[in-house]
């Protein structure tokens, strides 16, 4: 197991400067609203995955009025110690390095120090558009399968080129089937690989997810995750051919894995419409726990678990179930939790005797 033993943060979001040493199991950040608890989790996420969890541009992450940020993390296990550094200066290319050696591509870093975040914004996975769920899926698979990232980026490039050709045809009022077929061949090839990968991963994920949901809800309700894809029942090449007329009119590709979605149900009804706030939160927690288990299964690595405002909206029973799970399930090692109140947090953690390191995040300092 690899732990993040130390982080140094400079001019990242609202943090001017901080050096934090972490414990090997539970680390808790408490403090008032807006003090920067979530931002610390995001800094950890950045070091693990080379980017912010929140889809922010690197420029937005720089402390206001400054022109650069720096993050440094020390990851340790029994045999090894690695230093990951990230530096971004406005107007320049960001640099990400491990042990002093710069990566050429971000994808080289992915999966080495897996981390999984659960935060209130994740509700968008339930309520948002399908591209949010595809983004989750892709980022999950990216941490366990390097070739997936390359195939996906290839697919997206070909898709863009195919779409731009369709636009050209429309503009010039002509059509050449053979020109389109050049792209079809390539999109089918990578699309089929991605579809097969997604299908098998979602099958595994969904079994793990159901297991965790039952654990944390005490078998209160039935839940499911299903893979929705046009390619589940149709051959990609056939579907593309059938869709040519529609593609010509709409000037874009209407079939493919870029239309995939995940279907989230609770007692056979959509979670979006029929899940209470606590049930939705449980749903997302189980999803992220399943992601940790899946990552462990495929890579042998335990993910750093980042739980932002974990206890918000959950009742006492579910809170206890989650604490039991985090502390007893072998899937989890190092966990970071935030809460606005230390009193509430310690009450929630009362039943566990896990070693805990507490950080109070205040206006101009972080103390422990």
Ligand X SMILES: Nc1ncnc2c1ncn2[C@@H]1O[C@H](COP(=O)(O)OP(=O)(O)OP(=O)(O)O)[C@@H](O)[C@H]1O
**Site for ligand X, rule CB under 6 A:** 13-14, 31, 33-39, 60-64, 340
Give the separation between CA 289 and CA 331, rounded to whole angstroms: 8
* CA distance readout (Å), 239 to 158, 164, 200, 253, 353: 17, 19, 21, 11, 56
- Looking at the Cβ atoms of 36 and 256, the one nearer to ligand X is 36
Answer with the entry of Mg ion, ligand X, none that 63 interacts with (C-beta below 5 to 8 A by kind).
ligand X
Give the separation between CA 222 and CA 27, rounded to whole angstroms: 32
* CA distance readout (Å), 12 to 42, 52, 156, 292: 10, 11, 31, 27
The alpha carbons of the chain give a radius of gyration, in whole angstroms, of 22
- Looking at the Cβ atoms of 61 and 240, the one nearer to ligand X is 61
Tell the smallest beta-carbon distance from residue 35 to Mg ion (Å).
Answer: 8
Phi-psi region of 96 (alpha: psi -120 to 50; beta: other; left: phi over 0): beta
The interface with Mg ion within residues 22-61 (CB under 5 A) comprises: 38
The interface with Mg ion within residues 226-265 (CB under 5 A) comprises: none
Tell the smallest beta-carbon distance from residue 279 to ligand X (Å).
Answer: 22
Tell the smallest beta-carbon distance from residue 368 to ligand X (Å).
Answer: 16
Tell the smallest beta-carbon distance from residue 171 to ligand X (Å).
Answer: 41
What is the H or E stretch that residue 193 is in? helix 177-217
- Looking at the Cβ atoms of 36 and 191, the one nearer to ligand X is 36
- Looking at the Cβ atoms of 38 and 217, the one nearer to Mg ion is 38
Tell the smallest beta-carbon distance from residue 89 to ligand X (Å).
Answer: 14
- Write out the two tokens for 165: 């050709």
85 pairs with which residues across the strands? Answer: 72, 97
Tell the smallest beta-carbon distance from residue 337 to ligand X (Å).
Answer: 12
Count, residues in the chain: 368
Number of residues in contact with Mg ion, rule: CB under 5 A? 1
Answer with the entry of Mg ion, ligand X, none that 340 interacts with (C-beta below 5 to 8 A by kind).
ligand X
Answer with the entry of ligand X, Mg ion, none that 34 interacts with (C-beta below 5 to 8 A by kind).
ligand X
Contact in structure between 357 and 24 (CB atoms under 8 Å): no
- Looking at the Cβ atoms of 2 and 38, the one nearer to Mg ion is 38
- Looking at the Cβ atoms of 38 and 282, the one nearer to ligand X is 38
- Looking at the Cβ atoms of 38 and 279, the one nearer to Mg ion is 38
- Looking at the Cβ atoms of 120 and 128, the one nearer to ligand X is 120
Tell the smallest beta-carbon distance from residue 66 to ligand X (Å).
Answer: 8
- Write out the two tokens for 340: 């606005």
Contact in structure between 291 and 140 (CB atoms under 8 Å): yes
Q: Reduce the DSSP state of residue 4 to 3 states and report it.
A: strand
Tell the smallest beta-carbon distance from residue 327 to ligand X (Å).
Answer: 24
Backbone CA torsion sign across 136, 138, 141, 142: negative
Contact in structure between 340 and 31 (CB atoms under 8 Å): yes
Answer with the entry of ligand X, Mg ion, none that 33 interacts with (C-beta below 5 to 8 A by kind).
ligand X
Backbone CA torsion sign across 94, 96, 100, 101: negative
Answer with the entry of Mg ion, ligand X, none that 163 interacts with (C-beta below 5 to 8 A by kind).
none
The contact set with Mg ion (CB under 5 A) reads 38
């Amino acid at each position: 197991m690899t732990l993040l033993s130390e982080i140094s943060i400079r001019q990242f979001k609202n943090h001017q400067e901080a050096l934090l040493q972490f414990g090997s199991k539970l680390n808790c950040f408490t403090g008032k609203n807006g003090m920067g608890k979530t931002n610390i989790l995001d800094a950890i996420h950045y070091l693990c995955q080379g980017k912010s969890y929140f889809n922010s541009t690197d420029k937005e992450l720089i402390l206001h009025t400054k022109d650069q940020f720096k993050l440094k993390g020390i990851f340790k296990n029994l045999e090894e110690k690695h230093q990951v550094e990230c530096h971004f200066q406005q107007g320049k290319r960001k640099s990400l390095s491990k042990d002093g050696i710069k990566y050429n591509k971000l994808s080289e870093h992915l999966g080495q120090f897996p981390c999984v975040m659960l935060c209130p914004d994740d509700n968008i996975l339930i309520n948002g558009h399908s591209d949010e769920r595809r983004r989750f899926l892709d980022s999950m698979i990216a941490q366990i399968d390097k070739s997936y990232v390359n195939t996906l980026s290839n697919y997206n490039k070909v898709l863009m080129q195919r779409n731009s050709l369709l636009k050209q045809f429309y503009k010039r009022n002509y059509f050449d089937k053979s020109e389109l077929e050049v792209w079809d061949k390539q999109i089918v090839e990578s699309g089929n690989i991605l579809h097969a990968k997604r299908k098998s991963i979602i099958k595994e994920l969904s079994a793990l997810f159901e297991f965790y949901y039952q654990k944390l809800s005490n078998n209160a309700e039935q839940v499911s995750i299903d893979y929705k894809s046009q390619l589940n029942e149709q051959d990609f090449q056939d579907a593309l051919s059938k869709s040519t007329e529609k593609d010509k009119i709409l000037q874009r590709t209407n079939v493919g894995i870029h239309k995939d979605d995940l279907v989230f149900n609770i007692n056979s009804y959509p979670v979006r419409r029929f899940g209470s706030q606590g049930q939705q939160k449980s749903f997302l927690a189980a999803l992220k726990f399943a992601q940790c288990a899946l990552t462990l299964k495929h890579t042998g690595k335990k993910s750093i678990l980042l739980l932002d405002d974990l206890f918000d909206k959950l009742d006492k029973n579910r809170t206890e179930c989650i604490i039991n799970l985090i502390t007893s399930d072998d899937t989890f090692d190092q966990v970071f939790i935030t809460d606005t109140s230390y009193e509430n947090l310690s009450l929630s953690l009362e039943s566990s005797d896990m070693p805990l390191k507490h950080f109070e995040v205040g206006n101009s300092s972080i103390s422990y």
